[in-house]
């Protein structure tokens, strides 16, 4: 009969083949070292560097720019392999194959991926060599047209350029503009536009300037500092009146593929409606021109608060003066700093009437939104103290009442029309009530520094 008992364990110090006679002593198994010879660990691993060049190029030809970017980031050896592949005779067919205009490749962002890849591959070479490689890829290998005749080519150049220069400094960006512009010729077109006596005559030239800058140097650039740097490059050493005209050309509204130079000089039929889509986009674009100058160290040397205020004053007077409600709308987009500086300038120069009219326009375009009213409150709080005399403050209030009275008179004139419908009549009566509430609330703040919440 089989004897079943407790399993005896081995000690790590004992001979594994000998058993102790004592059943109470625990013994553990001893693990014997096993030495492998070098011949046993060899495996059939195929390194990319050991493959013949012709076969390696065929393999790399099947990879996407993103995959080549990841491969080049792996090691210095793979970085050299990818770099040599792009420089070889297979580089140009690879670029053209990747950029084939198929629906799938359009959605894949091939231009951005190629720009990111070349940004990595040129990161270790001198600046002039980097710029030369970008020029060779865009204008020699891919044969793109950068003179503005092809909007699609400009878009491709911008998307490639934006990613390839993403990690460059502002000094390098400014230098790249001077070198790349020998093909795009933007500065030459700007100089030609400068010699034009009137705007809106050479529509093709204006159209080319706008799209060359926006598609290549602005919209495809991710960093605000780079955008401000490039904008400052084309504005540098230009007269202030031309700087304002150029900003309006670049970011102003368009209609029928032409710059609408008189867009903001027209009267609005309804002061309380929101701006339409085209107006809102134009406000946003124009405000970006001021905001990006704050983000760029390269541009901050030439643009302080006073210079931007002077630029704004020229902008709203070129080529015809803007209506006050459009000025107020733009100031909300530009931010509280510029809005406050405008009110401070009016207060220091004792432009009481303009001060009151601007506040009136700000209240109109605020459209009963609390956030906008808070911006108005802070701007008035910073600027109203600059009017030191009580008589001046009373003068502002008088002008403010007159400004509201002028707007009210326009609404009453519409109500007196014999062709007005009952629905429109109710709507304009509501406008009168809102105007009265705004006037009472604003004057209450000017006198007591507290808004009347009941109005």
pLDDT tens, 315-331?
988 788 888 888 888 99
Return d(Cα 384, Cα 399) in angstroms, integer. 14
- Taken in order 32, 38, 40, 45, the sign of the CA dihedral is positive
Which pairs with CB-CB distance under 8 Å and at least 24 residues apart come from 152-159?
154/211, 154/212, 154/215, 154/216, 155/215, 155/220, 156/99, 156/111, 157/184, 157/215, 157/216, 158/215, 158/216, 158/217, 158/219, 158/220, 158/221, 159/111, 159/112, 159/115, 159/220
Q: What's the pLDDT band for 109 if we cut at 50, 70, 90?
A: confident
Return d(Cα 59, Cα 48) in angstroms, integer. 10
Q: Is the pLDDT of residue 203 over 50?
A: yes
Residue ranges covered by each domain of the chain: 337-455
Torsion of CA 22, 24, 25, 27, to 10 degrees: 100
Tokens 């693990």 locate to 31
CB 248 within 8 A of CB 318: yes
> In 3D, which of 181, 79, 65 has the Cα closest to residue 115?
65
Average confidence (pLDDT) over 82-88 = 84
Q: What's the pLDDT band for 446 if we cut at 50, 70, 90?
A: low
Q: Is the pLDDT of residue 246 over 90?
A: yes
Tokens 């490639």 locate to 160
Distances (CA, A) of 188 to 128, 195, 205, 437: 22, 11, 11, 54
Q: Please write the tens of the pLDDT for every residue from 125-182.
A: 889 988 888 888 888 888 887 766 778 888 888 888 988 898 898 999 999 998 888 8
Average confidence (pLDDT) over 81-100 = 82
Record the pTM. Answer: 0.73
Interior CA angle at 322 toward 327 and 433, to 5°? 60
Q: What are the start-end ranges of the E strands in 1-42?
A: none
State whether residue 396 is helix, strand or coil.
helix
Q: Is the pLDDT of residue 40 over 70?
A: no
Q: Please write the tens of the pLDDT for every residue from 51-66.
A: 777 788 788 888 888 8
Q: What is the pLDDT of residue 50?
A: 73
Q: What is the mean pLDDT of the chain?
A: 77
Question: What tokens does 207 get?
Answer: 């159209």
Residues in Cβ contact with 357 at an 8 Å cutoff, skipping those fewer than 6 apart: 324, 399, 403
Q: How many CA atoms are closer than 13 Å to the CA of 224, on its beta-carbon side?
A: 11
Return d(Cα 49, Cα 236) in angstroms, integer. 50
The region of weakest confidence among 212-221, 260-269, 285-294, 362-371 is: 362-371
Most confidently modeled range among 19-23, 258-262, 269-273: 258-262
């Amino acid at each position: 009969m089989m004897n079943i008992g407790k399993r005896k364990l081995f000690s790590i110090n004992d001979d594994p083949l000998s058993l102790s006679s004592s059943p109470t002593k625990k013994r553990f198994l001893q693990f014997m070292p096993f030495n492998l010879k070098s011949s046993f660990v060899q495996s059939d691993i195929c390194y990319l560097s050991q493959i013949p060049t012709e076969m390696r190029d065929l393999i790399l030809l099947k990879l996407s720019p993103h995959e080549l970017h990841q491969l080049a980031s792996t090691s210095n050896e793979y970085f050299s392999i990818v770099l040599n592949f792009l420089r070889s005779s297979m580089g140009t067919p690879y670029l053209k194959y990747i950029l084939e205009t198929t629906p799938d490749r359009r959605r894949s962002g091939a231009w951005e991926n190629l720009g990111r890849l070349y940004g990595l591959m040129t990161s270790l070479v001198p600046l002039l060599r980097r710029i030369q490689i970008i020029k060779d890829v865009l204008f020699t290998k891919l044969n793109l047209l950068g003179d503005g005749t092809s909007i699609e080519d400009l878009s491709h150049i911008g998307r490639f350029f934006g990613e390839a220069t993403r990690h460059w400094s502002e000094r390098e960006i400014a230098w790249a503009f001077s070198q790349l512009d020998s093909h795009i010729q933007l500065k030459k077109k700007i100089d030609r536009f400068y010699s034009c006596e009137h705007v809106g005559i050479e529509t093709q030239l204006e159209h080319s300037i706008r799209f060359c800058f926006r598609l290549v140097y602005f919209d495809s650039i991710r960093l605000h500092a780079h955008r401000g740097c490039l904008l400052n490059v084309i504005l540098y050493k230009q007269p202030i009146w031309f700087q304002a005209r150029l900003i309006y050309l670049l970011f102003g509204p368009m209609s029928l593929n032409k710059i609408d130079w008189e867009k903001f000089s027209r009267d609005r039929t309804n002061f309380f409606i929101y701006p339409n889509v085209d107006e809102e986009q134009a406000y946003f674009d124009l405000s970006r021109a001021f905001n990006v100058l704050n983000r760029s160290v390269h541009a901050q040397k030439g643009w302080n608060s006073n210079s931007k205020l002077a630029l704004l004053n020229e902008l709203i007077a070129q080529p015809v003066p803007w209506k006050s409600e459009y000025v107020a709308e733009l100031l909300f987009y530009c931010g509280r700093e510029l809005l406050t500086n405008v009110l401070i300038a009016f207060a220091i120069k004792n432009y009481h009437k303009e001060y009151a009219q601007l506040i009136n326009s700000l209240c109109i375009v605020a459209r009963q939104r609390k956030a906008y009213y808070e911006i108005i409150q802070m701007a008035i709080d910073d600027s109203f103290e600059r009017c030191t005399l009580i008589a001046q403050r009373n003068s502002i209030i008088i002008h403010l009442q007159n400004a509201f009275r002028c707007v009210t008179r326009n609404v009453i004139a519409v109500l007196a029309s014999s062709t007005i419908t009952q629905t429109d009549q109710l709507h304009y009566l509501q406008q009168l009530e809102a105007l009265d509430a705004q006037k009472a609330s604003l004057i209450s703040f000017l006198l007591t520094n507290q808004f009347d919440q009941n109005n």
